[in-house]
Amino acid sequence: MTINESIESVRKSFRTDLDSFPSDPKEIDSLRSVYFGRKGLIAGLYISLADLPNNEKPEAGQSINNFKKKLQTDFDAKASTVIDVASTTHNQSFDLSLPGFPITNGSIHPLQQTLDEIKSIFKSVGFKVAYGPEIEDDYHNFEALNIPKHHPARDMQDTFFVKDNIVLRTHTSNVQIHLMEEREPPLRYIVPGRVYRNESVSYKSYCLFHQIEGLFVDKNVSMADLKGILEYFVKQFFGESTVMRFRPSFFPFTEPSAEVDIWDKKRGKWMEILGCGMIDPNVFENVGYDSSIWHGYAFGMGIERMTMLKYGIDDIRLFYQNDIRFLEQF
């Protein structure tokens, strides 16, 4: 057989193999070595070169080279179509037992958790939830609450003014006035929301924080009712064994007024948690309630402060930095 005859016979068998080209990657590989392997048919052609007379070798070698190149291109072209199709349609296998990519869940912000908890405690004893405006007029934030003109809270130093007479509310007590203006007694509401104060930012104060206001108006409401509800709340929220005290205080819109402290075992001292009192008759007058018939109490607490005490957090700014290492702990 001449070299050309040998080439022809390899070409023939290659055509047949192309027509019945396998789709399995392993079979494709073994077919590849039938032709291009170290002991394959093409290698065999090169070996038979040795038998030729020297003057014929260059030309024959060139023919084999060209033939090999052509075969390789055809083979690769065929293989690539088969493998592409295989990987997109047939034969694709999934290992269903492989572990998936981990899904990282977010967590509920600690302030929201505290708020939810406080809300559910008060709802369980009959309080409804109401909301009010954060941008407020001087009347609802101060005047109607019996806060006199010269009161320090009305100073630019303590309050953010939007414009003359319009402020960012400094407490949620403004909603006491809205509720009583809009509805007839009896009333039993808690009012969560953001409040703003123009204070220098430090570990214990921030320009923005959250409060929950409580408002109860009915006939024959006494300070004993107020003490009862707050004691119930504190034990539910901080635990049955929490030690608390009422301390006389002053707010222009309540009379008498008090603050509640709880004993912080970790710090070894009393920590103030809320302000409260019996609604001042002047406030009732401002909203058109007859203070000889209606009595009531109100209280207001800071949600940041409650959260800090409950979880031993010592810097209020952590709530606003969105540091995942902090948030993940809740």
Which residues contact ligand PHE by CB under 6 A?
171, 173, 213, 251, 254, 275-277, 298-300
For every residue of 140-180, DSSP letters joined together read HHTGGGT--TT-GGGSTTTS-EEETTEEE-SSTTHHHHHHH
3-state SS class at 31: helix
Provide, rounded to whole angstroms, the least separation between the CB of residue 154 and ligand PHE: 14
CA distance 152 to 240: 38
N-terminal to C-terminal alpha carbon distance within the chain: 84
User: In this complex, which beta carbon is closest to ligand PHE, that of residue 193 or of residue 300?
Assistant: 300
- Smallest distance, Å, CB 299 to ligand PHE? 5
Question: How far apart are CB 257 and ligand PHE at their closest, in Å?
Answer: 6
Beta bridge partners, 297, equal: 216, 278
Among all residues, whose Cβ is closest to ligand PHE? 300
- 35 or 251: CB nearest ligand PHE: 251
Minimum distance, C-beta of residue 132 to ligand PHE, in the bound complex (Å): 13
Q: How far is CA 114 from the centre of its chain?
A: 16
Output 72 or 249, the one with its CB closest to ligand PHE.
Answer: 249
Rounded to a whole number of angstroms, the minimum distance from the CB of residue 253 to ligand PHE is: 6
Residues 72, 77, 79: CA angle, nearest 5 degrees = 95
Q: What are phi and psi of 125, to 5 degrees?
A: -115, 30
CA distance 61 to 50: 10
Which CB sits closer to ligand PHE, 35 or 299?
299
Q: 52 vs 153, which CB is nearer to ligand PHE?
A: 153
CB of 102 to ligand PHE, least distance (A): 44
